[in-house]
Structures are given as C-alpha cells and as structure tokens.
Amino acid sequence: MTSRPCIVCGTLAAGSYCDRHAPKPGSRAWRGGSTRQWRQLRAQALQRDGDRCVKCGARDQLAVHHVVPLAEGGALGLDGLTTLCEPCHHAAHRPA
C-alpha cells in the first residue's frame, strides 16, 4: 500500500491518518472523515504560514489548528486556522 502523510502530523501512514491520530469510533471525524473542504483549507493554511509553526518556526510534525474550536463557535475558514508543530499544538490545548 502506498504511504502518504497523516493529515494531522505529516507522519507517513497507510491512509489519511497515522496510528496516533486515527479517528476513534464514534468521534465526528470517524463518522464523516476528512472533507475535501478541510483538506483544501489545511493546505492553504500551511502555504500561508510558509510550512512552519507560527509559534516556534519548526518545519516538521505540523498540524493546522482551529484558533477557536468549532465546538465553541469557531468558523471553518482560513482566518480561523493557524499552523502549529505538534508540541505547540499540544500546548495550545492544555488548560492555562
């Protein structure tokens, strides 16, 4: 099977997600999967941010992060997205 980058972290995987980021049964992503719109927005955000983490400048293990989570009223649009490396992405999700 051909490997391709995980859409979350960029690690090579057999499908859209690596084992670490594979959607869990019952989650929204598992039910609907990644949409074409999300993949396009993600690619645009990565390009806009120069394929770098906007916090630390790292170029590997990148994730596109919703500044305001969709569940909290964030909009699905380029303005609401930012590129973060995995460590910065995890830090963004930790309580302050």
Residue range of the domain that includes 39: 4-93
Prediction pTM value:
0.63
Which pLDDT belongs to residue 76? Answer: 77
Count: domains in the chain? 1
Average pLDDT over residues 66-70: 85
Alpha carbon 23 to chain centroid distance?
13
Question: Coil, strand, or helix at residue 64?
Answer: strand
> If residue 85 lies in a helix (H) or strand (E), which one and from where to where?
strand 81-85
- Does position 60 have pLDDT exceeding 60, yes or no? yes
